[in-house]
Structure 1
Amino acid sequence: MYIHAVSHYLPTQVVGNEHFTQLNGLSSDWIIERTGILERRKAAPGENTNTMTIEVVKRLMEKTDLTTVDLIVGGTYTPYDTIVSIAHEAQHFLGIADIPTISISTACSSLLNAIEVVEGYFALNKATRALVIVSEHNTLYYNEKDTISGHLWGDGAAALLITKERQNEKDFDVKALITGGAAHTSKATTGVMMKPADGGVTMPHGRDVFINACQYMPKASLQVLEQCGLTLADVDYVLPHQANLRISRNVMNTLGLPEEKLISNIQYYGNTGCAGCAIALSEKWDTFKKGEHIVITVFGGGYSYGAMLVEV
């Protein structure tokens, strides 16, 4: 399984920390110290997960042919429409008939679960060219006056063309992929929640989210390396879920890897949910060198987690 091309889309509106200083008294230094976030992107009026999906698919079309896609998988926990999913929106835009079209949600882990769905279709010979879209409109659901989590969120989307067979030498080879759920832990179902009819995004147990994210992302990263017979010495970059820069640094410290190997964009985009890792991968795509190994690891509410090892 290969990642052939990636694209991303970010809304143009930039919301700096000074907005929250004026809104609820949180200083920029306080936000940066606890999250690493300097600014984030916010969808404009009329933008939503479905419109961002169309924009990111258009950008992917500039890089590769999507006319022969035979599977579409969308991932989001912030849907604009709970019936017409981002996957259906993409299929409608592309005008491709009679192909599997699926939308999933495992919170911020949805990117890797979507790719795992693709892996299953490929294994069963039910598809060979899959379009994966991850799109999040966090600012539709959040309460920006919430001093616990209101300043964390940003909006954005990404799209990937994943193929069963290699298309060219620049494709990224997916060497291993694992996902899991840790909902058996005591605060998993209340650590972070999004209830549109009951307060939007809430994070009553942020400390528990932090602890579990710092535990499961390194654990999953080591598991995918072991599956491939590789060690931490073989890792060139780690791309963790863009939730909190302190979490990312903790993951690197647990793995014993230098911060130079950390890929992070939360400083400028905030927590863009399941789209964050794919946005960062798209931004860095042309800078990676042949033979490099990248570990992408995620953690989401619920709790969900996973890791994927790719080789350039």
Structure 2
Amino acid sequence: MSATEVYINSTAAWFPNEPVSNDEMEQYLGYINNKPSKSKKIVLRNNGIKNRYYALEKGGKSTHTNAQMTAEAVRELFKESPEQLKSVELLSCGTSSPDQMMPSHGVMTHGWLPEADGIEVVSPSGVCCAGMHALKYAYMAVKTGDVKLAVATGSERFSGLLVSGVFEDEVQHLVELDANPYIAFQKEFLRWMLSDGASAFLLSDKPNEQGLSLRIDWIEGVSFANETEACMYMGTEKQPDGTLKGFMDFTPEEIKNKSLFSIKQDINLLSDNIVALGGKKIKEIFERKGMTAADIDYFMPHMSSEFFRPKIYEMIDVYGGGIPYDKWFVNLSTVGNVGAASAYLMVNELFKSGKLKKGERLLLLVPESSRFSYMYAMLTVV
């Protein structure tokens, strides 16, 4: 008996409100110390982002929750046949910015889908890899024959943590920022990179009868937490010995004064490890599967910033034989860094572009700096 194949038969994306240009950002996020940012232009120059989306009105009032956006992306999968949503047996939702700690993001999304049946729901956590973990769970459920129809999602809603009240005066960092672009990934400068949105895939054990599908050939991941400290963190504070002290061990006053729920990164760890560690696993996968760069038609790396494009290129050149830029498909500049949704959004845009031909292969790479985890996947157009 041959193993069950798994196919992505439909993809969808859902963004809140209208795209926000670089010039409009502070109308939504507010001004730190009531002054226009001096760092914004430097950061945007490096990250290459032109538009992003916020689940906010101008002035910072929220318009959508993460779960609402995710439910809309799921609904979008079935816009041609809404009744098919009743046939879904599994909902697997990955995010790094749930609306609350409990209940889980997945069940909150399910709660916004009253037209669905009672189904299994899972909520992989983490950071950028969370969406890929959700995809892998759905893939394995279909692969094993446990379900025939599953939905996987990736989503983020970080805008509520990017508003000006969360951040301190940036002036002290400006001189460092010009000299060292990695400073942009440290704390307040992350607010010029992150974007809100949701995306969803419909997985089945059969390909589409008409039109194209994407067969999932494999999905693999690796964590280097056994050999590295935490690099990106939120709701915690890094201690001098490299360990993390979580929010439950702080007083309410300390949580506020230390801006514990802003996102922070250890830039020294980031610059030393994020690309190099990802390359180690690429090399191992390529060698084990007998792959070369020539086997790949589209390379789709999740990048938090265009700053990393040449660094990823060099890494692939060393470990995988080089993938020319004309094989890259990245939409960071138009949608921003949507974390756990980014890989989904690239696949969705390419799948609907009309460019794909049967037999072409797509390599996905999703790095996560939190404690250096990586996910990789190969899709074949059928």
Is 2:330 the partner of 1:264? Answer: yes
Q: Distance in 2 between matches of 1:100 and 1:38?
A: 38
With over 3 angstroms needed to count, the CA separation of the structure-2 counterparts of 1:63 and 1:84, relative to structure 1, is farther
Note if contact 2:44-2:192 (Cα within 8 Å) is conserved in structure 1. no
Aligned residue in 2 for 1:294: 362
Aligned residue in 2 for 1:56: 73
Aligned residue in 1 for 2:311: 250
Note if contact 1:242-1:277 (Cα within 8 Å) is conserved in structure 2. no
Q: Distance in 1 between matches of 2:160 and 2:94?
A: 16
Is 2:95 the partner of 1:76? Answer: yes
Note if contact 1:3-1:162 (Cα within 8 Å) is conserved in structure 2. yes
Cα RMSD between the aligned structures?
A: 2.4
* Per-residue CA distance 1:198-218 (angstroms, 9 max, x = gap): 432333413422443312434
Moved more, 249-258 or 67-76: 249-258
Q: Distance in 1 between matches of 2:188 and 2:122?
A: 35
Aligned residue in 2 for 1:102: 122
Note if contact 1:221-1:297 (Cα within 8 Å) is conserved in structure 2. no
1:27 Cα shift? 4.6
Q: Distance in 2 between matches of 1:58 and 1:97?
A: 13
* Per-residue CA distance 1:260-280 (angstroms, 9 max, x = gap): 222222212221110011112
Note if contact 1:86-1:133 (Cα within 8 Å) is conserved in structure 2. no
With over 3 angstroms needed to count, the CA separation of the structure-2 counterparts of 1:231 and 1:113, relative to structure 1, is same
Q: Which amino acid aligns with 1:308?
A: A
Is 2:197 the partner of 1:174? Answer: no
Aligned residue in 1 for 2:175: none
Note if contact 1:177-1:307 (Cα within 8 Å) is conserved in structure 2. yes
* Per-residue CA distance 1:89-134 (angstroms, 9 max, x = gap): 4434154444211111121001221122123323443212111111
Identity %: 21
Note if contact 1:242-1:270 (Cα within 8 Å) is conserved in structure 2. no
Q: Distance in 2 between matches of 1:9 and 1:211?
A: 35
Note if contact 2:86-2:117 (Cα within 8 Å) is conserved in structure 1. no
- TM-score, normalising length from structure 2? 0.74
Q: Distance in 1 between matches of 2:327 and 2:351?
A: 15
Alignment of 1:1-312 (within 5 A): 1-18=6-23, 19=25, 23-28=36-41, 30-44=42-56, 45-63=62-80, 65-92=84-111, 93-142=113-162, 144=164, 145=167, 147-168=188-209, 170-187=212-229, 189=230, 191-195=231-235, 197=255, 198-255=259-316, 256-286=322-352, 287-300=355-368, 301-312=370-381
Moved more, 127-136 or 254-263: 254-263
Q: Distance in 1 between matches of 2:214 and 2:283?
A: 20
**Structure 1: segments with no counterpart, 5+ residues:** none
Aligned residue in 1 for 2:244: none
Q: Distance in 1 between matches of 2:40 and 2:120?
A: 47
Q: Distance in 1 between matches of 2:344 and 2:304?
A: 13
Secondary structure of the corresponding residue to residue 131 of structure 1: strand
Greater percentage in strand:
1
1:178 Cα shift? 0.3
1:227 Cα shift? 5.0
Note if contact 1:173-1:311 (Cα within 8 Å) is conserved in structure 2. yes
Q: Distance in 2 between matches of 1:241 and 1:289?
A: 22
1:161 Cα shift? 0.5
With over 3 angstroms needed to count, the CA separation of the structure-2 counterparts of 1:182 and 1:39, relative to structure 1, is same
With over 3 angstroms needed to count, the CA separation of the structure-2 counterparts of 1:82 and 1:95, relative to structure 1, is farther
- TM-score, normalising length from structure 1? 0.89
Note if contact 1:240-1:277 (Cα within 8 Å) is conserved in structure 2. yes
Tell me the matched-pair count.
Answer: 309
